[in-house]
Structure 1
């Protein structure tokens, strides 16, 4: 990507901006994945295809319970696997017999997409849909245009029958192998259909709006750039890096060769265009994406999930956390408990903000920047070589983190910042990090401080912050 001979054009990079749909997506920050279907009842991760629809008859499906459990964790949306690789559809598609309509569930009159849509609407959560391009059942797979027509027909059903959709998640996983059927997906056509039917929805992973972070382990890069080379939008390239075998190992694998995608060093020598292509971090509460009873004692604890949330949401990414219901149709007790614990930790973090108690200002006077961004607030955008922002508190308290928001509507410009904590005029801690973006959570080792100074050290053009949160331990 880079030959190291040309310095990047910082003025150009500093003016690459997100679309309105990307801004709305980023504001969600945290939402859930729900893997449920034929694999749940057969206890598999990747179904083989052609499973008997009569196997699907979960006795106690409660989409309201699913949504409530996800909301309790602090999630603001749900992405449902409407069709996984096995090809079994959770709605009564008019274009295949391999769906809930052929099952005994709800007497063959069930529609799980509708039930989840209604539950999301009642709870105020956004709805997203996952429709696997790889289909191990449909005979048209590998035929080219005929299969594309089928896929588009199903996509149309999902985007016209269930209300507003915030996300269409297109997976690149494929286990056909070198001797299997090969389908050249018409990705551009799929995106055009989404744009026509749900213009406010982002197309994720094998799409142009939201970038897969590159792993399924929940790993977040140290510095996550939203302004990256346009080649990263190549859907086939993303698919080639996606899971190719159901080996039980891919979900926790992290590649080390793609840790820097957008810094000056990474872009040195790059002569192409850059685009706004922000990252989504995804992982599961369990080792698998579908529920397996043998994994009931391997659910990630709330503290580990909270660390993943802090790194992802606080690292300029959105966090997509998978919660798979059991074959009964209910979310298992260990998962519910972990989600409730996570939600408590997230609330304590947000409610632990003490910035509202501070006098906030720079050398020019007071600044209205305390707390998270609010509508109508003007950003702090000083025209200095090394801007400094101070927060003076009436008394010292233990600081756990300093959280910053950048005005990403005008691009991502901050490359490095530092934070200095003081008590009674004496420096007690210095730290810092690289990019800010939508939100950056900088951990602090619980030191007592009554003054916080934020210094913007390096940036690509005039920077702008829209909020500062100082979280008490």
Structure 2
């Protein structure tokens, strides 16, 4: 009898048979990376430029891409995505198909290339590089003309994917408004995807793309249970675009909807069992109220406690976390943001360092190296016997220790299988429930009030198929 059968729920191996691609697997292990919003909007103190600002305004004399990347790295980030072109159409590289770019600016005598500088800085600091290229262009006259604009967009996409080395993410948002000709463009998404697959086959296509799903808000909010296996209909770029920000009103950044909290439970998948995809979530938000730097927001940088909470819920909620950090007009990230991110990095390192050394025993099978496999995943995941009625791993500490979190993760090369997990702690021979969750996936960090115990039990009480666990760790309370 399986764990699922023991709970009265039949196995559903077809749901567990949906697996990630290699590019999705690689992306998932990145966990935490940064967004850099910088461009003409930074200079004009706007969020959405209208596409007619003079390139002569762009002259960030102190631009320091190494400072940007080093700041992100100090927070524990593994990559950086640059807004190479936002909706205003101003290009941060010298594009061959428009003069509306850094080549027409006084910055470095028109010889500068922000994309090249950030890509090179990322390589120097060991971070991966990604690009954001807005499909909406409020400057170019071909926007709204159909194929002619698609040709223009593909030409720019090709430039970005062939000039700057490996790209880990092509981040496509759903902005779609009027162009200078008064028309709205119907994007040829499939053509855009084909270009990315041809030129950067290892890159994930995010948000309005088939590889990484937008969490549904820009507030950094995470669903109570995030599933990677969802109905194929969620990959519809137009659906994502419809739910994206439609106007520059300043309120969308903290808006959280409650109408799609469950995307992948068995109830949500009912009727879609034959048309499912692996489509994992990314949680994105900004360190400030806006995405671009605004001097008026210099006192509104999010505190470390808030960012760390978002981090735990995202990276510990079967998602990756994309945090935006906007440089100021002079081309440098402000000291306040730098200090907060450095403290965030130390906070994350401290949390990881508090993993308690433990001896793992399992209800069946062999534990492999899951008890020592965090951060990261073990080389030998634990797979209980198919007949195990309540698969569980016990982490014994040898003496009572304060514990405030437990990390558990599945080997997602075998799909997302766990549907309910319970964490219990033992003290004086008695077990008490500390936390529980439904979805696990790549990684779940379950937090609770610090509790002194001498062992924790991570027990799978419902599963779609025999669980395959890659990591299990207990985190001690802060001293």
Distance 1:221 1:236 in 2: 22
- What TM-score, normalized by structure 1, do the two folds share? 0.95
Alpha-carbon spacing, 1:429–1:14, altered in 2? closer, same or farther (3 Å): closer
Tell me whether 1:269 sits opposite 2:264 in the alignment.
no
Structure 2 partner of 1:208: 210
Contact between 2:367 and 2:382, CA under 8 Å: does it hold in 1?
A: no
Tell me whether 1:376 sits opposite 2:379 in the alignment.
yes
2:390 to 350, 374, 386: 386
Structure 2 partner of 1:445: 449
- What TM-score, normalized by structure 2, do the two folds share? 0.94
Q: CA deviation at 1:349?
A: 1.1
Q: CA deviation at 1:361?
A: 3.3
Structure 2 partner of 1:357: 358
The ranges of structure 1 where at least 4 consecutive aligned residues each deviate by more than 4 angstroms after the TM superposition are 363-367
How many residue pairs get aligned? The number is 465
Q: CA deviation at 1:97?
A: 0.2
Structure 2 partner of 1:36: 38
Alpha-carbon spacing, 1:430–1:247, altered in 2? closer, same or farther (3 Å): same
Q: CA deviation at 1:430?
A: 3.3
Contact between 1:429 and 1:447, CA under 8 Å: does it hold in 2?
A: no
2:305 to 274, 283, 303: 303
Of residues 95-104 and 375-384 in structure 1, the stretch that sits farther from structure 2 once superposed is 375-384
Contact between 2:11 and 2:463, CA under 8 Å: does it hold in 1?
A: no
2:319 to 313, 317, 320: 317
- SS at the partner of 2:371? coil
Contact between 1:230 and 1:272, CA under 8 Å: does it hold in 2?
A: no
Alpha-carbon spacing, 1:365–1:28, altered in 2? closer, same or farther (3 Å): closer
Q: CA deviation at 1:359?
A: 4.1
Deviations 1:259-279 (A, max 9, x none): 000101112233650100000
Distance 2:99 2:315 in 1: 40
Contact between 1:8 and 1:268, CA under 8 Å: does it hold in 2?
A: no
Structure 1 partner of 2:4: none
Q: CA deviation at 1:389?
A: 1.2
RMSD of aligned residue pairs (Cα, Å): 1.7
Structure 1 partner of 2:426: 422
Distance 1:55 1:419 in 2: 57
- SS at the partner of 2:370? coil
Q: CA deviation at 1:362?
A: 3.0
Alpha-carbon spacing, 1:281–1:237, altered in 2? closer, same or farther (3 Å): same
Q: CA deviation at 1:122?
A: 0.5
Structure 2 partner of 1:120: 122
Contact between 2:167 and 2:203, CA under 8 Å: does it hold in 1?
A: yes
Alpha-carbon spacing, 1:460–1:63, altered in 2? closer, same or farther (3 Å): same
1:407 to 398, 405, 411: 411
Contact between 2:381 and 2:411, CA under 8 Å: does it hold in 1?
A: no
Q: CA deviation at 1:368?
A: 2.7
Unpaired runs of 5+ in structure 1?
1-6
Distance 2:355 2:273 in 1: 43
Structure 2 partner of 1:470: 474
